A and B are shown apart, each in its own frame.
Chain A
Amino acid sequence: MSNLLITPPPSRWARFWASPLGDSLRGNPVALVALLVFSVIVVLALLAPVIAPFDPYDPTQIDIMNSDLPPFWIPGAEPQFVLGSDDQGRDMWSAILYGTRLSLMIGLAAVALQATLGIAIGLAAGYLGGRVDSLLMRLADIQLSFSTLMLAIVVLAVTHAMWGAAVFDRYAVVAVIAVIGLAEWPQYARTLRATVLAERQKEYVDSARVLGFGPLRIMLRHILPNAMSPIFVISTVQVGNAIIAEASLSFLGLGLPASQPSLGALIASGFDYIFAGSWWITALPGGVLVVLVLVINLLGDWLRDALNPRLYKV
Chain B
Amino acid sequence: MSLLSVRDLTVKFAMRSQTVTALHQISFDLARGERLGIVGESGAGKSITGFALMKLLSAPGYIDSGTIQFDGTDITQAPEAQMRQIRGNRIAMVFQDPMVTLNPVLTIGQQMVETLRAHRKLSRRDAQEIALTKLREVQIAAPELRLKQYPHELSGGMRQRIIIAMALLLDPDLIIADEPTTALDVTIQADIMELLLKLCQANKVGLILITHDLGVVSQLTERTLVMYAGRIVEAGKTREIINDPQHPYTQGLINALPQQTLPGQMLKQIPGAMPVLTDIPPGCPFSPRCAFALAECRRLLPQIMQQGSSEVACHEVNRLHSDLLLEEGR
Contacts and interface: CB of A to CB of B under 8 A. Distances in A.
A212 B103 contact: no
Contacts of B13: none
A79 interface: no
A209 B56 contact: yes
B119 interface: yes
Contacts of A211: 87-88, 92, 115, 118, 166
Contact of A204 (B93, B96, B100): B100
Interface of B: 54, 56, 59, 83-89, 92-93, 95-97, 100-106, 114-115, 118-119, 142, 144, 163, 166
14 contacts: A1-B142, A1-B144, A130-B59, A207-B101, A211-B87, A211-B115, A212-B83, A212-B84, A212-B89, A213-B118, A221-B106, A221-B114, A222-B106, A226-B104
Contacts of B87: 209-212
Nearest to B142: A1
A217 interface: yes
Contacts of B119: 212
A162 to B, nearest CB: 46
What is the interface of chain A mostly: helix, strand, loop, or mixed?
helix
Contacts of B101: 203-204, 206-207
Q: List the 7 shortest-distance A-B pairs measured between CB atoms, nearest first.
A: A212-B88, A212-B87, A211-B88, A210-B93, A225-B105, A212-B84, A203-B100
A210 B94 CA distance: 9
Contacts of B89: 212
A295 B23 CA distance: 59
A262 B166 CA distance: 54
Contacts of A209: 56, 87
Interface string A193-204: 000000000111
Nearest to B103: A204
A29 interface: no
Contacts of A225: 103, 105-106
A225 B110 CA distance: 13
Contacts of A212: 83-89, 118-119
Contacts of A222: 103, 106
B83, B105, B114 pick with most chain A CB within 10 angstroms: B105
Contacts of B95: 203, 206-207
Contacts of B97: 203
A222 B100 CA distance: 13
B297 to A, nearest CB: 38
Nearest to A224: B105
Contact of B88 (A204, A206, A210, A221): A210
Given A212-B87, A226-B104, 4 more contacts: A129-B59, A203-B95, A212-B83, A225-B105
| Most chain B beta carbons < 10 A, residue from A130, A212, A214, A221 | A212
Nearest to A210: B93
Contacts of A213: 84, 88, 118
